[in-house]
A and B are shown apart, each in its own frame.
Chain A
């Protein structure tokens, strides 16, 4: 790896005061950005510059900054989570960019994810879908069976684990031309449908989650597959197929 150097960049950032106002792209110049810094550190640097100029800093979502929480959510140069694959925005590094580059930064754009401010969108629709999924019944009579002693075929365990890797970031929705949340919902449905513990409420779960997904205004899947490519956790389209099978099974029950 080559040593870190400093680059000067131009930024075009979506600024929007609040949900009801009209936003626009603003241009900023940021000098001396270390290529060793992360993309979000670059934004911190910009915000520091703005605060020192007594201007309002750019609002953006972030939390863990290590690719596990799903809070960061930026559309960078026309791609969800930016120009790299298998990573979240917080895992993107400035070494992916060159001196003199112009970088476009926008919020997730989808009807079901309204902009709250600048680059921050409201993703509570995802929470409501998860809540609609409800609970998993467990025997608490004192004879509770330890999860590790319930046999699960290795193949199912692996697939459930892969589905559970979804961090709910919403890149799939942002990237989809239909604004569909089916990769996310597919992952959540699959995670439980594949495991014995989730079987008890499986029928209700898939019906309720899909109903909530439709109510929130997410679009439908047309098998384009863009979500799978942009998903930082590599969630497979297979999960959408599994959700559809579960949904069909539940509907004819």
Chain B
């Protein structure tokens, strides 16, 4: 996550990350050892479920970063920057909030729903601190 889904990310890294996480997930579900049982207080089971969530969240984050072909806020896609290395937004195609719909165990099947961002008071423009 740090190396490939960090502050600066690119298509190659994100694609690799998704495959790596998928592999990690497979290994995790095959090899995880959980002491104790499910029908009593079991802090180890809690930890395992948390790790499972992190794996899923990690993969989804990478998927979302891959589809967003622009740089915006903390999401800096290295392919999308201007001559001075500043973020390059694409308001034409990515002015939306994304929500991924759960479609069962296979995370790659999840569906992206878009909620368009409509600004009435603010004029959309690139931010410039210079």
A residues neighboring B (CB under 8 Å): 17-18, 50-51, 54-57, 59, 116-117, 120
CB-based contact A59/B35 at 8 Å: no
Question: What are the interface flags for B25-49 relative to A under an 8 Å C-beta threshold, 1 for contact and 0 otherwise?
Answer: 0000000010110001111100000
State in angstroms the CA–CA spacing of A50 and B43 once bound together. 14
B residues neighboring A (CB under 8 Å): 33, 35-36, 40-44
CB-defined contacts of B41 to chain A, threshold 8 Å:
18, 59, 116-117, 120
State in angstroms the CA–CA spacing of A222 and B41 once bound together. 35
CB-defined contacts of A59 to chain B, threshold 8 Å:
41-43
State in angstroms the CA–CA spacing of A56 and B43 once bound together. 11
CB-based contact A117/B40 at 8 Å: yes
State in angstroms the CA–CA spacing of A120 and B46 once bound together. 15
Minimal beta-carbon separation of A197 from chain B (angstroms): 38
**Count of A-B contacts with CB under 8 A?**
23
Cβ-closest chain A residue relative to B43: A59
CB-defined contacts of B43 to chain A, threshold 8 Å:
57, 59
CB-based contact B40/A18 at 8 Å: yes
State in angstroms the CA–CA spacing of A117 and B44 once bound together. 13
CB-based contact B40/A54 at 8 Å: no
CB-based contact A51/B33 at 8 Å: yes
Q: Can you pick out 23 interface pairs between chain A and chain B where the beta carbons lie within 8 Å of each other?
A: A17-B40, A18-B40, A18-B41, A50-B35, A51-B33, A51-B35, A51-B44, A54-B33, A54-B35, A55-B35, A56-B35, A56-B36, A57-B35, A57-B36, A57-B43, A57-B44, A59-B41, A59-B42, A59-B43, A116-B41, A117-B40, A117-B41, A120-B41
Q: Which 7 A-B pairs have the closest CB atoms?
A: A117-B41, A56-B35, A18-B40, A116-B41, A56-B36, A59-B43, A51-B35
Cβ-closest chain B residue relative to A50: B35
CB-defined contacts of A51 to chain B, threshold 8 Å:
33, 35, 44
CB-defined contacts of A17 to chain B, threshold 8 Å:
40
Minimal beta-carbon separation of B33 from chain A (angstroms): 7
State in angstroms the CA–CA spacing of A55 and B33 once bound together. 11
State in angstroms the CA–CA spacing of A117 and B39 once bound together. 12
State in angstroms the CA–CA spacing of A59 and B47 once bound together. 12
Cβ-closest chain B residue relative to A55: B35
Cβ-closest chain B residue relative to A117: B41
CB-defined contacts of A120 to chain B, threshold 8 Å:
41
CB-defined contacts of A55 to chain B, threshold 8 Å:
35
Cβ-closest chain A residue relative to B36: A56
CB-defined contacts of A54 to chain B, threshold 8 Å:
33, 35
Besides the known contacts A54-B33, A57-B43, A59-B41, 4 further A-B residue pairs in the complex with CB atoms under 8 A apart: A50-B35, A56-B35, A116-B41, A120-B41
Minimal beta-carbon separation of B28 from chain A (angstroms): 16
State in angstroms the CA–CA spacing of A54 and B33 once bound together. 9
Minimal beta-carbon separation of B48 from chain A (angstroms): 11
Minimal beta-carbon separation of A209 from chain B (angstroms): 28
CB-defined contacts of B40 to chain A, threshold 8 Å:
17-18, 117
CB-defined contacts of A116 to chain B, threshold 8 Å:
41
State in angstroms the CA–CA spacing of A131 and B62 once bound together. 43
Minimal beta-carbon separation of A185 from chain B (angstroms): 27
State in angstroms the CA–CA spacing of A55 and B42 once bound together. 13
State in angstroms the CA–CA spacing of A56 and B35 once bound together. 6
State in angstroms the CA–CA spacing of A59 and B40 once bound together. 11
Minimal beta-carbon separation of A107 from chain B (angstroms): 12
Cβ-closest chain B residue relative to A17: B40
Minimal beta-carbon separation of A137 from chain B (angstroms): 37
Minimal beta-carbon separation of B35 from chain A (angstroms): 5
State in angstroms the CA–CA spacing of A221 and B44 once bound together. 38
Minimal beta-carbon separation of B42 from chain A (angstroms): 8
